[in-house]
Each structure stands twice: as structure tokens, then as C-alpha cells.
Structure 1
Amino acid sequence: MAFDPLQERGIPLDEQLRDWRELNVTPIDPDHADPYTRCRIITMNGIESEAIQFSHQLARHCTDMELKRQLARVRHIEAQQQKAVNWLLPGVSSVLETTIAYEQVAVDLTAWVARMEPDPYLTKAYEFGVLEDFDHLYRYANLYEMIEHRKAEKIVDQLTEVMPGRPTYLQHRDPVDNVREPYDRHHTEPLSKLHALTVMATEQQTMNFYMNVGPLAMEPIARRLYQEIAMVEEEHVTHYESLVDPGESWWEMLLNHEYNECYLYHSFMETESEPRVKAVWELHLNMEIEHLRLASELFKRFDGRDPDQVLAPELPPPVTFEPNKAYLRDLLATQIDWTTLGTGYVQEAHERFSRMQEAVMGGDKPASEQVIDDNRAVSGREYRLETEGPHPAGLQLGR
């Protein structure tokens, strides 16, 4: 049945505050929970983190004290939501296990968005990025086997394949070539705006996660690999954030953020298999409906438009975590040799790409390649998880 959060009644803001016991939720059991439950948790942590950071930026550009206070009240609840969501992750999981789960999110969420995206230009941006995260999953899975002597299939549960994507060392590009053309806010479909916000937020959270946990690793190869991939994630954030039309006002951006939170909480409430986690999604949805109402009032006041003029009349079909194996294999077979040039894509190494490669490599073998060699030496072969058919052959830039 169609669900329009603008027509629903949420929990009043002054009833949303929770005490410490309510926020200290019981984490999921990593040995028995659906891997996609963990993916939904990681996704919503990224979405809530983006909501908080955006609200802070808006407050820093706002001169009206009463508006600052309203933003602070809502932001405090968003911060509580972020804590409750992120604390669902199990403390018994190692940082590297959580890293592999982060990359499973990047692969299957971005692949799903690419499949559902109505704008071909935006689809290309997601397809380009997902082949790089696919390779990150493969590199971290080999590091995991080498250091912790465990296999990534325990984490991804064979829902996501683990094999080489576009080689990570070929993902280091001139910064100017990471900037894409934005969608046109006047003509793009509301679903495209939600997709762009979602992927941007999750990639941003991945970047932040690697920036913070990378130096905590003890093994030199792990520290180097986190550092290398963290730099690629910075490229990805630039890639995805540039898709958003910068002509949107602060109030339209706030409206889109709140609507997207409603969309994702509703999606995950509809698709969640773990009852206790589903209850969190439902509670947060009812909170976000009120946040959306408040953002709608600000939008009407400062933009002079009705929210229905920019938002979808009802929530789109749910965002779904599901295997994307055939889709990804097709991309591997047809798009693995692409890189960027300006705001477009090319299949050959151009001057800026080659110059950047020389600059960042410094004559040394990159960690993303070294980790495969090291795991072969320890385990007798590299780690892969292929569940069907042969690995598709593809060209590789610079080889």
C-alpha cells in the first residue's frame, strides 16, 4: 500500500528523547543474524551521520537564533538515533570483519541503486563506483584471511561474491577527474535525489570509518591497505556528492534529507528479518515523520513552495538488500577498463591518469597488490568466493 510520510502523524519531538538504557541496545548476534541486517545497520549509521553533519553545516550558516535552536533540538534526536543504530553492531566483531561488512554494503547497495536509477547518466556513475568497491572487498577479504585466518564468506554468507574488480591501484586519479556533472533539480525525478543522497552518505561514512580505524591496525600491510583504500573512498565521496545539484537551497536540502530518512527507515522496516531490529526501524520512522513535518514547515516558510512540488507523492518501492551477482558480473565483463576524464568516462589511460599513477606509486608496489602476494605466501593461494561460473575476463588499464 502507498505510504506518504507527509500525510502520516509521527511522534511529537518533545516525546522523542530517550534515556541511556534505551539507547544502549542489545547488538545483533554476528553468527546468526542475516548479513543484510548488518548491512542495513551500517547503511542507517551512514544516513544518520550525514543528517547530523548536514544539520551542523546548516546551523553554521544560519543567523536566526530560534532556527539554530530548532535545528539543535532535532539534531540531538538524530544523534540519539545514530547511537542506537550503530550500537546494534556486535562488539565481538573485529574491525576487519566490520570493514568487510562495510564493503558488502557498498557493493550490494550501490548495485541495487544502479539497477533502479531512472537517469542513465547517474546509473553510469553508480556502475563506475561499484566496480571499485567490489575490488576493495576482495583486497580486504585477503587481508582478513592472512591476518585472522578466517574467510570472508562467514561474513557475507555467499550473498556477495568476492573476486577482483577494477584493480584498486588503478583507482587513483587526478582529483579534477572525480567531479561529475550534477543532476538538474528542476527536471530530475525525486527518486534520483534519494539515490544520490543515499550513496553519498554511505560512502562518506566508509571514508570516515577508514580514516579513523586505519592507524589502529598493528600489521604494516593492514595500515598501508587502509590508507590506500581510504584515499579512494575520498575520491568516491567527491564523485557522488558532485551529482547533487548545488542550486538546491539549504531548506530544500534539509527537506530531501528528512524525506530520505523516512524512505530508508520505511524500506528497512518492510524488509527486515530480525524482529528486534525491525522495531528500531519502525520507531525511528515515526520519529523521522515528525522531523520531516518540521522541515516541510521551514521549506514552505523560506522557499515559498509546497513540499509536494519537489518530493515524490509517495515513497518509492523499498530499498532492498539482495544478491546482485549476475549484474556485477556483467559490469565486470564490460566496464572494468573504464576510468574518468573530466566529467566523463574513457577506456584508455590519459595523461592526467598516468601522471597521477606515477606520483602516488612512488616506484613501490601498492598495498592493494602486495596484500594478494602476501596472502598467497601465507595461505598458498589468494582468497576468492565465486558462487557460480568463471570469473569474467576484462581489460585492465595500464597493463
Structure 2
Amino acid sequence: MAFNPLEHRGIPLDEQLRDWGQLDVAPVDPDHADPYTKCRIITMNGIEVEAIMFSHHFNRVCTDPEVKQKLAHVRYMEQQQQKVVNWLLPGQASVLETTLSYEQVAVDLTGWVARMEPDPYLKQAYEFGLLEDFDHLYRYANLYEMIEHRKAEKIVDQLTEVMPGRPGPQQHRHPMDNVREPYDKQTAAPLSKLHALTIMSAEQQTMNFYMNVGPMYMEPIARQLYQEIGLVEEEHVTHYESLVDPGETWWERLVNHEYNECYLYYSFMQTETDPRIKNIWELHLNMELEHLHIACDLMRRHDGRDPESILAPALPEPVRFEPNKEYVREVLATQIDWTTLGTGYVQEAHRRFEEWQNKINAGGVPQARVIGEHIDKYGEEYRLETEGPHPVERLRLG
């Protein structure tokens, strides 16, 4: 029977506060943890960060002291959840190893969402970004071997392939062409709203991560690569956040955020392979159930509407981290040369596209440079292909 979070009360808010010992969780083993366990951790960190920042933004425009106090109380619990989740990542993992896991999230979470998305326009948006995140995994994998002398299969196992996606020079578009059409909140499937919020949150966290860790490297090529891909992630966040209907009220958005957190914690509780981490997902789900009920009460009181009118009657099929190799290869073979024009997609470059790229790529492209330096050092690029040769081999060094 499908799980309806509106039918379950969680842990009362006043009972959710944890002490320092409870917050001091042991990290996962960097060498033996399931790669997808790390992906789930990174995903939920991004979801919690988005929930926290949304609550802060809401707080800044809210004039009702009682609402601000309730938001602050819930937000503090979200902050504790974020600390537990993000602190599950192993401290001995290097920034590059964590980066590879971030990009594995981007590939396999976006791939899963694209496969499940019922709206063709939204599905296209996810497939478009997927090919660039897939390429980022390839670039960072080559950098990883150059700097740390290790291979990316240590991190991603055989679950996600490592090979070129959309070439780096083609990923830089005029900012106006990164804005998409939003879904219509009146007609969009509830699942589509959850998908948009999930991928926006995950990409936003990746953007924030690269903004902060890029300068931590001494090697010029690493600093350059993080800087370039960090700007592509800015494009991706604009791309995904514009899919959300700006006509949603603050109350709707609050409810959608809490419902999405319930959805993802429930999903990962169902699919987690590590019993200890599964217990954390279950605990946080029970906290989020109460957060959802608080948000629903606020919506009824201040928006004058029933939250059931905008939510699915039960949670959709659980989100799963699983290999998307065949699907990614199909998208590579059919959409590798696509770009954007306005809110749509085209296969031929336009003048605005070319002028922008000529300017930003004038000094050379770090994404291409890292592959050239890897070939100079090792005689070949690094790849992890498990399903046969690349479907678009002509783009090998783009």
C-alpha cells in the first residue's frame, strides 16, 4: 500500500532536539561503503541545504512574528539534520574523491528522474543537463588520476561509466538561453514538481560545493577546472530553478519542500543497503513528517487552501540510485550536439551562442586542457567503459 505522509504524525517538534553526542555520527567507510550510499548522503545534504535556505528567504519576507518563530524552530531541526547527513561523508576522502561522488549523483539521479518524468518538456530539460554532468565526471576523473594517481573506478565502481559527454566548449551558453519555461502549477503532475525541486536542489549544492572548494587546490589545472565547471553549474541551477512555477505561493512552496523531504527520506529508507544509514533516513523521515504537518497547518491558516489540493494522495515510486548506462548512451547518441535558444532547444549554433563562446573560450578551455595534459602524461585519456565503445566517438577530445 502506498505511503501517504499526510496520514502519519512524526516526532513532535519539541522532542526533535539532539545533543552533541547524538549529532556526532560516524562517517561511512571511504573504501568499502556502497558508492550509492554516498550518493544518497550527498543528495540529502543538498535537499536539506535547499530547505534551510528557502526557510531563511521566507523568513526575510515574512511579517508575522509567530510564523517567523515557527519557521525558525523547524529550521533549526533541519540544520541538525543537515549536520548529521553531511557529516556522514568520510573526512579522509579528498575533495576530488567527493567531487567524483557529486558527479555520480548528478548523472544517476538526473538519469533516473529523466526516465520517470511524465512531462516531455521537463524530461528534455533533465536530459540536456545530464549530458554535461556526465562530461564533468569524465573531466574530474582524468584530473583525479593526474593529481592523486588513482582511478575513478575506486569511487564510482562499475555503476556509472566515465567517458565524454557534451564537449566542454559547447557548455557555455549566453545566460538568457539558460532560462526555461516553468511548469504550470495548476496542471503539472505532483511528481513533476518533486522532480524539479529535487534536481534544482542537487545542482545548487554542487554549484555551492565547487564555489568553495575550487581555490583549495594548488595545481593550476585543478583550480581552472573547478572554476570552469563551477560556472557551468551556475547555468544548470538557472536552467532547473526556472522550471518551477513562480506563481506558487510561499505557503505552497513550503509544503512542497517538506513533502519532497518526506519523499526522499522515505525513498532512501526503502533502498539503503547500510543498516546504520537506513536508521538515520528513518529517523529523519519521522522528523520531516511533523515538519510537513506544520507546513500544511500554516498553509491552511494563511493561504486559505487545503494542502491536499496540491499534493499527491500518496508518495510516488521511491527514487532509486541505479545504473543508467544504456539510457545515458541513448541520450548521448541522439542529443550530444543540442544547445539552447531562448526557452527551447536547437541543434545548430546561433550567432549569440557563437559570440558568447568565442569570448569565454578565447584563452583556452580547462575542460579540454585537462584531457590534453592527461594524454601528455599517460599517453591516453582515462575512461571507464563497461558497455562497449563510446556511441559518438567523433567527440572524443572535445
Taking structure 2 as the reference length, what is the TM-score of the superposition?
0.99
Cα offset, 1:354, TM superposition: 0.2
Does the alignment pair 1:382 with 2:381?
A: yes
Cα distance in 2, alignment partners of residues 138 and 50 from structure 1: 27
Cα offset, 1:394, TM superposition: 6.5
Q: What count of residue pairs does the alignment treat as equivalent?
A: 398
Does the alignment pair 1:36 with 2:45?
A: no
Cα distance in 1, alignment partners of residues 46 and 237 from structure 2: 12
Question: Which residue type is aligned with residue 262 of structure 2?
Answer: C
**Deviations 1:90-145 (CA, angstroms, capped at 9, x unpaired):** 00100000000000000000000000000000000000000000000000000000
- Is the 1:172–1:232 contact (alpha carbons within 8 Å) kept by the matching residues of 2? yes
Cα distance in 1, alignment partners of residues 389 and 141 from structure 2: 19
Cα offset, 1:338, TM superposition: 0.2
Runs of 4+ in 1 over 4 A off after TM superposition: none
1:8 maps to 8
- Is the 1:336–1:395 contact (alpha carbons within 8 Å) kept by the matching residues of 2? no
- Is the 1:336–1:394 contact (alpha carbons within 8 Å) kept by the matching residues of 2? no
Question: Which residue type is aligned with residue 315 of structure 1?
Answer: L
Cα distance in 1, alignment partners of residues 167 and 21 from structure 2: 45
Cα offset, 1:306, TM superposition: 1.0
1:51 maps to 51
2:348 maps to 348
Question: Which residue type is aligned with residue 368 of structure 1?
Answer: Q
Does the alignment pair 1:169 with 2:169?
A: yes
2:239 maps to 239
Cα distance in 1, alignment partners of residues 54 and 124 from structure 2: 26
- Is the 1:134–1:165 contact (alpha carbons within 8 Å) kept by the matching residues of 2? yes
- Is the 1:112–1:321 contact (alpha carbons within 8 Å) kept by the matching residues of 2? yes
Question: Which residue type is aligned with residue 375 of structure 2?
Answer: R
- Is the 1:96–1:144 contact (alpha carbons within 8 Å) kept by the matching residues of 2? yes
Question: Which residue type is aligned with residue 387 of structure 1?
Answer: T
2:193 maps to 193
Question: Which residue type is aligned with residue 277 of structure 2?
Answer: V
Cα distance in 2, alignment partners of residues 393 and 167 from structure 1: 11
Alignment of 1:294-305 (within 5 A): 294-305=294-305
- Is the 1:334–1:394 contact (alpha carbons within 8 Å) kept by the matching residues of 2? no
Cα offset, 1:395, TM superposition: 6.8
Question: Which residue type is aligned with residue 184 of structure 2?
Answer: D
Cα distance in 2, alignment partners of residues 389 and 192 from structure 1: 33
Question: Which residue type is aligned with residue 234 of structure 1?
Answer: E
Alignment of 1:203-218 (within 5 A): 203-218=203-218
Alignment of 1:219-258 (within 5 A): 219-258=219-258
Give the gaps of 5 or more residues in structure 1: none
Equivalent position SS for 1:345: strand
Cα distance in 2, alignment partners of residues 26 and 168 from structure 1: 38
Does the alignment pair 1:156 with 2:156?
A: yes
**Deviations 1:222-268 (CA, angstroms, capped at 9, x unpaired):** 00000000000000000000000000000000000000000000000
Among the aligned pairs, what percent are the same residue?
73
Equivalent position SS for 2:373: helix
Cα offset, 1:210, TM superposition: 0.0
Cα distance in 2, alignment partners of residues 337 and 126 from structure 1: 15
- Is the 1:337–1:394 contact (alpha carbons within 8 Å) kept by the matching residues of 2? no
**Deviations 1:32-55 (CA, angstroms, capped at 9, x unpaired):** 111000000000000000000000
- Is the 1:332–1:394 contact (alpha carbons within 8 Å) kept by the matching residues of 2? no
Equivalent position SS for 2:345: strand
Alignment of 1:15-30 (within 5 A): 15-30=15-30
Equivalent position SS for 1:187: coil
**Deviations 1:136-194 (CA, angstroms, capped at 9, x unpaired):** 00000000001100000010001000000001221000000000000000000000000
Alignment of 1:283-362 (within 5 A): 283-362=283-362
Does the alignment pair 1:99 with 2:99?
A: yes
- Is the 1:23–1:83 contact (alpha carbons within 8 Å) kept by the matching residues of 2? yes
1:393 maps to 392
1:72 maps to 72
Change (3 A) 1:88 1:387: same
Cα distance in 2, alignment partners of residues 210 and 10 from structure 1: 35
Cα distance in 2, alignment partners of residues 302 and 64 from structure 1: 10
Cα distance in 2, alignment partners of residues 98 and 336 from structure 1: 27
2:144 maps to 144
Cα distance in 2, alignment partners of residues 217 and 306 from structure 1: 51
1:368 maps to 367
Cα distance in 1, alignment partners of residues 146 and 393 from structure 2: 27
1:127 maps to 127
Taking structure 1 as the reference length, what is the TM-score of the superposition?
0.98
- Is the 1:41–1:89 contact (alpha carbons within 8 Å) kept by the matching residues of 2? yes
Give the gaps of 5 or more residues in structure 2: none
Equivalent position SS for 1:340: strand
Equivalent position SS for 2:165: coil
Cα distance in 2, alignment partners of residues 294 and 162 from structure 1: 43
- Is the 1:333–1:394 contact (alpha carbons within 8 Å) kept by the matching residues of 2? no
Cα distance in 2, alignment partners of residues 283 and 293 from structure 1: 16
Cα distance in 2, alignment partners of residues 339 and 28 from structure 1: 39
Equivalent position SS for 2:230: helix
Question: Which residue type is aligned with residue 111 of structure 2?
Answer: A
Cα distance in 2, alignment partners of residues 169 and 5 from structure 1: 45
- Is the 1:38–1:101 contact (alpha carbons within 8 Å) kept by the matching residues of 2? yes
